[in-house]
Amino acid sequence: MPLDMLPGWLFGISAARVSGEIQEKLNRYREEAFKVLWNAFKGDIMPAVQQPTDLIPAEQILAQAQAIAALAQQQVDFERGLAEAQQRHQTMADYMRGFVKDTKQGLRDHEQRISALELQVRSEPAAEPTVSEAQAAEIAMAVRNVGSLLSGIKGKSRYWQVYNELYHRYENGAYRAMKLKDYEAARKWLKDWHEELLDSLGEEGTDKITG
């Protein structure tokens, strides 16, 4: 295998199929690689948008609705991308399983390169720090879990209710735009909401929805 193809090939290895020592290195490689890719392309994917401050009430309502709709679209894209990525990773892992033993030296080399990248990569300055890509994905998954329970209870889609509440609590129309200082509070709020819904359903109600 050409050496320049090894970084992409490593993405397809399932961490569950390698030993504990290699798992830790593989997970660290993926996390750091995602950070580098995000910093390289985030300007094209999520250009910054300045929110006007002189909107009339009707325009403010419209802006909020658009932000909530954008948040919902990101959730759709996130879930589709997650499912597609899982399928690709599983397919590549099944195909390349026989070559895992030969990657130890390659992983050591890449660990050294990652250490070098840590010294080179610098985040762009911002007025307030925002959540990482992994943290944004965690919030998106928590929203999905709460929305699924609400939809099951009400008998129709209730995702909009979660998006609306998230938008009004933390005033951001994108998961990646959430302020870092709000991350723990948002995560705890979504977790508590999810647990309250599970408690209200009981075991029988939960089985009915998930089944």
pLDDT digits (tens, 9 = 90+) for 95-113: 676 666 666 667 777 677 7
Position 98 in a domain: yes
Each residue's pLDDT tens digit, 31-61: 887 778 777 776 666 555 555 667 788 888 8
Say yes or no: 104 and 146 in one domain. Answer: no
Report helix angle 159-170 to 180-210, nearest 10: 160
Say yes or no: 49 and 112 in one domain. Answer: yes
Cβ–Cβ under 8 Å, residues 33 and 121: no
Position 101 in a domain: yes
What range defines the domain where residue 50 resides?
3-66+90-120
Residue whose C-alpha is closest to residue 38's, from 28, 30, 50, 49: 30
Say yes or no: 109 and 144 in one domain. Answer: no
Q: How many domains does the chain have?
A: 2
In this predicted structure, what is the pLDDT of residue 16? 73
Position 158 in a domain: yes
In this predicted structure, what is the pLDDT of residue 123? 47
Say yes or no: 96 and 168 in one domain. Answer: no
Position 186 in a domain: yes
> Does residue 188 carry a pLDDT above 90?
yes
